[in-house]
Structure 1
C-alpha cells in the first residue's frame, strides 16, 4: 500500500493522525520525524525559507522511506503542484482558503481528466519512471487521489462555508491566523468560529483538522473531533530543546 493510500485509509478508519510541519532544509529532518513516530509531515512552503528544490528533496526523501508528505502552499499554482506531486507528495495543504473557486482550482490542479486539468507524465517515481502502464497509473490516481487540505483561518469567507469546504478531504483550522482575524481578546467569538467550522465539516462529510502547539494540545483537539493533527514544527521543537538545555547550562 502506498504512503498516500495508508494515510487515506487511516483517516477513513476514523483514526486521529499526527504529523508536524517541516520548515528546515535537509533530508535528515524527514528521517528524524519518521523515527519519532509521526504519521505524516507537511513540508511548509508558506512559513519557511525553503526553496521549491529543497521542498521537493524533502518530499522525495519522505517517499523513499514510506512517510506520507504533504506540502503547504500559499496559492494554487498548477505547475508547482504538479512538480510536487510528481516528486512524491501525497497531497496539498492550501493556506487561507476563502472561496469555493479556490477549492475548485485546487481540485482541478490535482486531478487528471475528466475530474481535473492536471497534466500527465509517467517520468516520475509515482509511475516507476514510465514503468507503469498509463491506464494502470490513471486507475490508481482516480481511485486514490492526492489528499486535499484547506486551511480555514479567517473570521469570514467569500462564499458560504459549506461551498468552500465542498470537495476537500480535510477542513483545517488555522487557529493562530483565525484568532488574529476574529480578535485575540474575543475568546467567545473565536470558539464560536471554531465550532462553526467543525460543524460545517462534519455536515459535509469532511474531516476536521487543526494545528496544535504541543502533543497535549493535539490531544485536546482530537477530543473535540479533529482527526488530522499537525503538531508544532521541526523548527519549533529544535528551538524549544535548545532553549531548555542552554537555560540549564546557564544556571
Structure 2
C-alpha cells in the first residue's frame, strides 16, 4: 500500500474556509449502520459523539471506516486527555472536537495531543495509521483539523486567549452546556453570548460552529454567520419520528 495514502479518506480541514456553510449530522447512538446511512445523505461531515454517545472503540473504528469512505468524520472526544484525542485520530477521524475547553492551557493541551512531534506529543500508532506508514502519519498530521468546544461561562471569559492558540483550526459552541453554566441567563442572553464568541473566533481567523437542534435552527445560524451547524441528530430524528407516529396514529 502506498505510504502517501492518508489514514482517512476525506479531509475536513480544507472545508474550513471563510464564509463556509458546513452542515453536520450528529450521531450518539453508537450504530455503525446509522453512520453509513447518515453518510449517504452527503453532509459536510458526520460527528461521532464519544463524550455522551454510546460509541465504543470497535464501533468507532467501524463507523470511521464506513462513514469516512463517503464524508469526513469528526470525533467529539470523550475529554481533553491525550489518550481520548489520540484514539479518535488513530481510528481514522479527520478531525477532533474536544469538549469543555475553558482556558488557553486547555487549548494548548488539545493541540499537543493532536499533533505528532515536533509540533505536539501524539504517539505514533493505531491500526489505520500504521497500515499506511510513517510518511502517511506525517502527511495526515497536516490535514487533521483540531477544534475546541467552548461551552462554559469560564470558556467564554477566556475565549480570546483560547482562539489565539496556535494550531487550532476551528471553534465550536456547545449551546446546551453553555446554557447550563449560565443558569440565570435568558435564552436571548445565551444567544448574544454565542454571537460574541463567533465574533471573537472570526477576529482570530477561526471558523465558528454552533450546536443546533434541527434544520430550521441550522439554517438560521448559517444566516447569522456561523460556518458549521448541526442539521440533524440520530436521537432527535428518532424521538421526532416516534412522537409523530404516535400522534398520527391517534387522529
TM-score scaled by length of structure 2 = 0.87
1:153 maps to 151
Deviation of the 1:180 alpha carbon: 2.6
Give the stretch that moved more between structures: 178-187 or 241-250: 178-187
Residues 1:170 and 2:173 aligned together = no
Change (3 A) 1:118 1:211: same
Encode CA deviations 1:86-121: one digit per residue, 9 max, x unaligned. Answer: 221111111121011111111111101110011113
The correspondence for 2:75, drawn from 71, 78, 81, is 71
**Which 5+ residue runs of structure 2 have no aligned equivalent?**
none
Query: Following TM superposition, by how much is the alpha carbon of 1:200 offset from its aligned partner in structure 2, in angstroms?
Result: 0.9
In the TM superposition, 1:8-27 aligns within 5 A as: 8-12=13-17, 14-27=19-32
Give 1:50's aligned residue.
Answer: 55
| 2:154 match: secondary structure | coil
Cα distance change on mapping 1:188 and 1:22 into 2, 3 Å? closer
Distance 1:37 1:173 in 2: 23
Classify 1:221/1:203 alpha carbon distance in 2 versus 1 (closer, same or farther; 3 Å).
Answer: same
Pair 1:241 & 2:241 matched: yes
Residues 14 and 8 (structure 1), Cα distance of their counterparts in 2 relative to 1, 3 Å cut: farther
**3-state SS of the aligned residue for 1:156?**
helix
**Number of paired residues?**
244
In 1: Cα distance, 2:109 partner to 2:151 partner:
19
Residue 196 of structure 1: CA displacement? 1.7
**Contact 1:211/1:232 (8 A) holds in 2:** no
Shift of 1:158: 8.5
For 2:20 and 2:11, the matched residues in 1 are separated by 11
Displacement after TM superposition at 1:138 (Å): 4.3
- 2:90 aligned with 1:91, yes or no? no
Distance 1:184 1:56, change over 3 A: farther
RMSD after superposition: 2.3
- What is the TM-score of this pair, normalised by structure 1? 0.87
Q: Which segment drifts farther, 48-57 or 237-246?
A: 48-57
Unaligned ranges ≥5, structure 1? none
Within a 5 Å distance, the mapping from 1:96-115 to structure 2 comes to 96-115=100-119
User: 1: distance between equivalents of 2:24 and 2:92?
Assistant: 17
